[in-house]
């Protein structure tokens, strides 16, 4: 059993708010197959994205060295393949046999290949055979015939209601600020309507303004008093209406509580010595997304956050059967930031961290470790930078991935090791990986099937059990 103090500390960390770090740059990609985001990195005056991170959601992407060139091969779930060729420090590339000039030289870092953000749409268009449109200033990339629009309808009454109609289901983060309501869309390919900003003839709600930046879009409704938002029509409508005014109630009189009589003991009491605290090995399982962040829409009202929680619970049960303690960072539909996940995971010092994601693209399982140098940079006075905290545990994280791949192979589930600049992976101070579960044999329905979820959970738990002692620190 985990000590009560550990659980209380974990719960406290989850409830506390944390100051948000500087917002990271990211590119949102919208396509008929999937919507996702990838980190954006600055290099030599240009913005870059990882070639593998960009291509992998569309199938199986491999990047192999060939002298000074790097050859890309993409195999899509429908059996088609495409190839590309890139040369380090050169702007010249070849895709499907056609020459292409990139907006900036191809960049290699730690065996990872990066292309300039300004050329991402051209590369994807050539390899996938689909039209692509990049909104570079807002870092949003649209592939094929995708895009969602909206309209605003004011329904006069007492009180009046403002109804936002969307062409596809949406699930934005909704926040209220003095004088405005902000709807932030991180997964939907929403675009502005013809009339933007739109003036609203109402005493409470005055205008609706669309904007987009850093891989997300927003609709901000200017208000003069608090409003409430409700969803309808299978998440195709959002209705804003003035919040009801609360009725003031008179405070109840305080009831005096008599002080208990304490008997006098002969002589001073000597407190008992506290028992030594033993740090047990605990596996922290992090079901990705949750709350205001639904993750990928899987159809029939099901979202990624629901499936990750189901798989995480199965992993915990499998670990319990093997005698290993495990906790979930969320037991229900809670909203957690990357910093909250990292701080909570680091609070339990002895163990490991496993994040669970799902994706409808491709098949099998992708196992991610943090893309970091094995030697942390900028260490001073024993402190490691927050974004390099995982550096000292990379070898153990790679060993964990290798152990899991062996278990997946024995169950005939395809597993691929990858690296990515994901958060909170690089902030975790223990062996840490992310498991992204794709359908079995390319069948999206398998993500919700109990046998497949159970097979994935069993392989993960067995992989952890295989190397528990080396990472336990002898405790």
Name the residue ranges covered by the structural domains of the chain.
26-143, 150-242, 280-375+383-471
Take residue 270 and report the two structure tokens written for it. Answer: 């000597």
Superfamily of domain 280-375+383-471 in the CATH hierarchy? Zn-dependent exopeptidases (3.40.630.40)
DSSP string, 451-466: HHHHHHHHHHHHHHHH
pLDDT in tens, 101-157: 999 999 988 778 999 999 999 999 999 888 999 999 999 999 998 888 999 999 999
**Average pLDDT in the 362-387 region?**
71
Distance CA 122, CA 134 (A): 9
The distance in angstroms from the start CA to the end CA of the chain is: 15
| Predicted TM-score of the model (pTM) | 0.52
Residue 9 reports pLDDT greater than 50 = no
Nearest one of 42, 208, 218 to 138, comparing CA atoms: 218
For the chain, percent of residues with pLDDT exceeding 90:
45
168: CB partners within 8 A, 6+ apart: 148, 188, 236
Omega of the bond prior to 398 within 30 degrees of 0, cis?
no
Residue 20 reports pLDDT greater than 50 = no
3-class SS shares of the chain: helix, strand, coil, % to 5: 25, 35, 40
**Residue 246: what pLDDT?**
52
pLDDT in tens, 199-253: 999 999 999 999 999 999 999 999 998 888 888 888 899 999 987 755 544 455 5
Residue 341 reports pLDDT greater than 60 = yes
Instruction: Give yes or no for a contact between 283 and 352, defined as CB atoms under 8 angstroms apart.
Output: yes
**Average pLDDT in the 71-91 region?**
86
Nearest one of 25, 23, 63 to 41, comparing CA atoms: 25
Which residue carries 């994601």 as its tokens? 357
Take residue 206 and report the two structure tokens written for it. Answer: 């005055």
Residue 371 reports pLDDT greater than 50 = yes
**Residue 243: what pLDDT?**
78
**Phi-psi map region of 415: left, alpha, beta (phi>0 left; psi -120 to 50 alpha):** beta
Residue 22 reports pLDDT greater than 50 = no
Distance CA 459, CA 461 (A): 6
Among 33-47, 247-261, 313-327, the least confident range: 247-261
**Residue 75: what pLDDT?**
82
**Residue 245: what pLDDT?**
59
Among 232-246, 333-347, 459-473, the least confident range: 459-473
**Average pLDDT in the 330-348 region?**
87
State phi, psi for 87 to the nearest 5 degrees.
-120, 130
**Residue 19: what pLDDT?**
34
Distance CA 2, CA 179 (A): 46
SS3 of 72, please?
Answer: strand
Decide which of 1.10.10.10, 3.30.457.10, 3.40.50.720, 3.30.930.10 is the CATH code for 26-143: 3.30.457.10
The yes/no answer on whether domain 150-242 falls in CATH 2.60.40.3470 is: yes
Distance CA 305, CA 441 (A): 22
Distance CA 200, CA 153 (A): 9
440: CB partners within 8 A, 6+ apart: 363, 364, 413, 446, 449, 452
**Residue 422: what pLDDT?**
78
């Amino acid at each position: 059993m985990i000590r009560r103090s550990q659980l209380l500390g974990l719960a406290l960390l989850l409830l506390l708010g944390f100051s948000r770090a500087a917002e990271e740059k990211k590119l949102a990609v919208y396509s008929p197959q999937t919507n996702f985001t990838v980190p954006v990195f600055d290099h030599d005056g240009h913005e870059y994205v990882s070639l593998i991170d960009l291509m992998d959601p569309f199938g199986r992407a491999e990047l192999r060295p060939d002298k000074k060139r790097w050859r890309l091969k993409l195999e899509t779930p429908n059996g088609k393949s495409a190839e590309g060729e890139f040369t380090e420090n050169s702007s010249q590339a070849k895709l499907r046999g056609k020459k292409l000039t990139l907006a900036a030289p191809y960049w290699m870092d730690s065996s990872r290949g990066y292309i300039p953000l300004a050329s991402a749409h051209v590369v994807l268009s050539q390899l996938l055979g689909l039209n692509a449109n990049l909104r570079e200033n807002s870092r949003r990339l649209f592939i094929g015939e995708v895009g969602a629009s909206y309209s605003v309808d004011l329904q006069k009454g007492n009180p009046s209601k403002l109804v936002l109609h969307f062409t596809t289901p949406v699930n934005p983060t909704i926040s209220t600020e003095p004088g405005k309501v902000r709807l932030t869309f991180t997964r939907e390919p929403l675009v502005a309507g013809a009339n933007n900003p739109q003036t609203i003839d109402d005493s409470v709600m005055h205008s609706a303004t669309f904007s987009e930046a850093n891989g997300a879009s927003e609709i901000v409704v200017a208000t003069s008093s608090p409003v409430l938002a409700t969803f309808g029509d299978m998440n195709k409508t959002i209705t804003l209406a003035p919040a009801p005014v609360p009725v003031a109630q008179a405070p109840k009189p305080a009831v005096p509580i008599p002080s208990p009589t304490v008997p006098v003991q002969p002589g001073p009491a000597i407190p008992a010595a506290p028992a030594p605290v033993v740090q047990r090995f605990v596996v922290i399982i992090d079901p990705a997304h949750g709350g205001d962040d639904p993750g990928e829409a899987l159809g029939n009202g099901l979202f990624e956050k629901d499936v990750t929680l189901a798989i995480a619970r199965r992993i915990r049960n499998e670990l319990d059967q093997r005698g290993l303690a495990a906790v979930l960072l969320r037991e229900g539909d809670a909203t957690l930031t990357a910093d909250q996940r990292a701080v909570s995971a680091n609070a339990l010092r002895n163990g490991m961290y496993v994040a669970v994601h799902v994706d409808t693209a491709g098949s099998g399982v992708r196992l991610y470790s943090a893309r970091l140098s094995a030697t942390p940079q900028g260490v001073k006075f024993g402190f490691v930078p927050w974004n390099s905290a995982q550096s000292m545990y990379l070898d153990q994280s790679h060993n964990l991935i290798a152990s899991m791949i062996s278990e997946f192979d024995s169950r005939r589930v395809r597993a691929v090791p990858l690296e990515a600049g994901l958060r909170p992976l690089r902030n975790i101070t223990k062996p840490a990986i992310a498991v992204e579960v794709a359908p079995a044999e390319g069948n999206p329905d398998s993500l919700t099937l109990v046998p497949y979820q159970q097979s994935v959970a069993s392989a993960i738990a067995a992989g952890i059990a295989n190397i528990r002692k080396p990472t336990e620190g002898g405790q």
